[in-house]
Chain A
Amino acid sequence: MKAAVVVFPGTTCDFDAYDALKEGVGVDTEYVFYQTRDLSKYSLVVLPGGFTYGDYLRSGAIASRTPILDAVRDYVEKEWGFVVGICNGFQILTESRILPGALTRNHTNAFICKPVGLRIANAETPFTEEFEPGERLSLPIAHADGRYVADPATLQRLHKNRQIFLVYDPENPNGSVDNIAGITNEKQNVFGLMPHPERFWHPWLGSDVGIRFFRSLVRRVRHG
């Protein structure tokens, strides 16, 4: 299998995502640039964190209108593999409407960079299978626009389909609705989360709990 790490102008977490996949999980990983129009040869596409286009207009807004997002949309519809958006990558996925809702300014109005407490809200998704139901973990966050919001109908659908796979617990750092930290789409082939699992992929970084998300996906790709 092959994995792609998408690089836009202003992406900053591409090396970490690459290392987590290549060194941590042993997947053949390539950087692909935002002009790319075909992702069909990859089993996994990661939109890493950063500050694409300087966060101008809205975080992720300009990146979400680049050609590669048409390729991502196509990739998702044809179910060629999995898409993961981390932090700014999550913002790009909501801005492009591939995932529902939106990410707006933290209720504290501040950029927050620290490890936070989280809980696995659904351990039956391809991204969370290596976790126990309700398992608690800690991952770093680093964002100013991480407050997930959605209209009541969307929220109801997210709960009903168990699309919320990760929640802040016990403290919600950004004021997101229902403590949402990560969601998937209905088909469970797209995952978006504000915390950074790729920053906790090796004990050298303080923890390797993040690698379990990537291992879950890779196992699903390799063994179905």
Chain B
Amino acid sequence: MPVYHAELLVYLRPDLLDPQGRAVKHALNTLGFHEVEDVRMGKAIRIRLQAENDSQARDRLKEMAEKLLTNPVIEDYRILSLEQEP
């Protein structure tokens, strides 16, 4: 079966305060990057998985995200990349 490399990005929902992002924004402003208006910190999750094809891989990743990888009450996610191993 083909092997895929996937990368998921998870962020706190935009309406929720992200204290880490706020601290980083303040630090950037303090360093002179006054143009920085907002910083949001998230997490990236890399997964290597077997799948018949691209769409099956996507379906399985979606299931993983909903069952464990994210908490939909507070987080949004997207599949940043999905590539078949050469």
Contact = CB atoms under 8 A, between A and B. Distances in A.
A188 interface: no
A128 to B, nearest CB: 25
A101 B69 contact: no
A188 B20 CA distance: 35
B19 A108 contact: yes
A63 to B, nearest CB: 12
A95 B71 CA distance: 7
Interface string A80-114: 00000000000000110000011011111100000
A57 B71 CA distance: 10
A109 B71 contact: no
Interface footprint category on B: 10 to 19
Size class of the contact patch on chain A: 20 to 34
A105 B19 contact: yes
B73 interface: yes
Contact of B73 (A102, A106, A108): A102
B23 interface: yes
B69 A57 contact: yes
B74 interface: yes
Given A107-B17, A109-B20, A175-B17, A102 B74 contact: yes
Interface in A107-166: 107-109, 147, 149-151
B68 interface: yes
A149 B68 contact: no
A150 B71 CA distance: 12
Q: Is the interface of A mostly helix, strand, loop or mixed?
A: loop
Nearest to A109: B19
Nearest to A108: B19
A37 interface: no
A69 to B, nearest CB: 12
Given A102-B74, A149-B74, A107 B69 contact: no
Interface in B6-27: 12, 16-20, 22-23
B34 interface: no
Interface in A179-222: none
Nearest to A104: B74
B19 A102 contact: no
A65 interface: yes
9 contacts: A57-B68, A57-B69, A65-B68, A102-B73, A105-B20, A107-B17, A107-B19, A109-B22, A175-B17
